[in-house]
Amino acid sequence: MNGDKQKKFRAKNAVVCVVIALIVAIAGLVAYSEKVQKIWFIENIKQAIEEMINPSTTETDDVTTVDVTGILPGDVGNHVCSEYYISKYDETNHWNECKICGKEYDKVAHNLIDNGWSMGSASNCNENNVHKFSCNCGYNYENNFGRKAHVLKFVDARKATHHYYDYCNGCNTGFNKHACYKADGTRIACNNLGKCARCGYNHTNPGFHGTYYKERDETGEYSIYSTLDNDLPCGHSIGKENVMSLGHLNYSRLEKVSDTEYKFYTSVTVPAGMSYNQVEALNPKKTGALTISNNPTKDGNTWNNVMTIKYTGYTEKKEQVYIRYTGTYTGTYNGNYFYICIYTDPLSPDEEAPIVTSVNQNEDAPWEKRKEITITGTENYCSTVKVEILDGENVIYEGTAPVTDNNWSITAVPELEADEIGRNLTVRVTDPLDNSSTQEFLVKKVDIVAPEPVEESIVIGGDWAKEKRYTFRATD
């Protein structure tokens, strides 16, 4: 019996010795690699506690574990720039830019194409006549270098309010306008005539007051106003409710006879006591592309006219012309000239929209990080077209394409994403005369936008260690 107790005692002592030896060995190992093993031990305990407290941080199918070995602060790393190119340009150059890191490649100066003058040549002094240039990358610009200078003449061009300014007959534009005052400081008006102390012109004509039929609303009705509704220096005013007392419009009709000719039919009834003076066909901002003439007739207080409008030159600008019926009024404002002006709708030498004939972007390609899209089409009149790619209402690309022999083409790499099902985009092409057309197309499998991290910033800190395990979360 004593022998059995001794055996058990010796076995128990052996176990205790082994445990003590293991503890000493572990302690020695920890002492040998204190920093590394301590951090590893602590970091794993911290991670285990975090995962128990916040299960959302555990690894699931939508969590990516990123190896951060070798990544320096601020380094994007691990991508090929050419796979993330998007098209960029400024006023001087165009280039490919990496969407991920922003580096620029293949940067070259624009190869500008001369698209000519918007009104045919530099000989037209109209302020809207510009010299147009474009590059195949989509950039465009305009200037007026070499445009004919205005030939100015000092005229009384606004007798209604007795203003004077320098006037260019070439484009019907006034400059350096000033109001005329007498030497006593009073404003010259139809009831206060005299010599202007500034320009020296002697105003002897009481001037003009008139009624305007200028802009149409969506229903086709004109907005009607009179110079007598304004704060004229003479103080005359009849109010809008009495504007028809200065005469009214019976009808106006613009008829397109051909691609280059319009007829504008008008008829007015003038107030009693208004004697006929003249009927004028006027172009307030002429481009030089139109010739206009009129054929007036008169039947008592009803005056009629047929204006003939012909395009005889080139312009990429719309124009609005008007007919002015003028007479001398012997009523309330005795001796004043009164007029009734009726404007056409804006006229255009071309109403045909440019056409998109193809959108080439390899719809069935495998997944891509960039999508190169080439758009081609036709334009029958203008020298350039504006091309836009729209994602819903948002314009994700805009560029200008030159037109050569009625054909145009442009290539773009917009910033976009699309899944396997695809998304519909729209290309919209517009010429300088606002003629426009659209065409939808489908893009698939393109991902150029990098995932966005859930955390705004991630700091890899703590004590020194040979390795650390972190889980980063991002949405794509």
Phi, psi of 246 (to 5 degrees): -90, 15
The pTM of this model reads 0.67
At 166 the pLDDT is 78
**What's at 360, amino acid-wise?**
N
**What's at 47, amino acid-wise?**
Q
**HSE value, Cβ hemisphere, 13 Å, CA-based, for 93:** 9
Query: Maximum CA pair distance of the chain?
Result: 152
Per-position pLDDT tens, the chain of length 476: 455 655 555 655 655 565 565 565 555 554 544 444 444 444 554 555 455 555 544 444 444 444 444 444 444 556 788 878 888 899 999 998 887 788 899 999 999 989 999 988 999 888 889 999 999 888 998 999 999 998 888 765 445 556 667 778 888 787 777 888 889 998 887 778 888 888 888 887 776 777 778 777 777 777 766 665 555 666 665 544 454 456 678 899 999 999 899 999 999 988 777 788 888 888 887 888 999 999 999 998 899 999 999 999 999 999 999 998 888 766 555 556 777 889 999 999 999 999 999 998 776 777 777 788 999 999 999 999 999 999 999 999 999 999 999 999 999 888 888 888 888 999 999 999 999 999 999 988 877 665 665 655 566 666 776 676 666 665 55
At 304 the pLDDT is 94
Which is nearest to 226 in space by CA: 207, 253, 245, 206?
245
Q: Return the C-alpha torsion angle 52, 55, 57, 58, nearest 10.
A: 80
At 382 the pLDDT is 95
Q: How far apart are CA 409 and CA 387, in angstroms?
A: 9
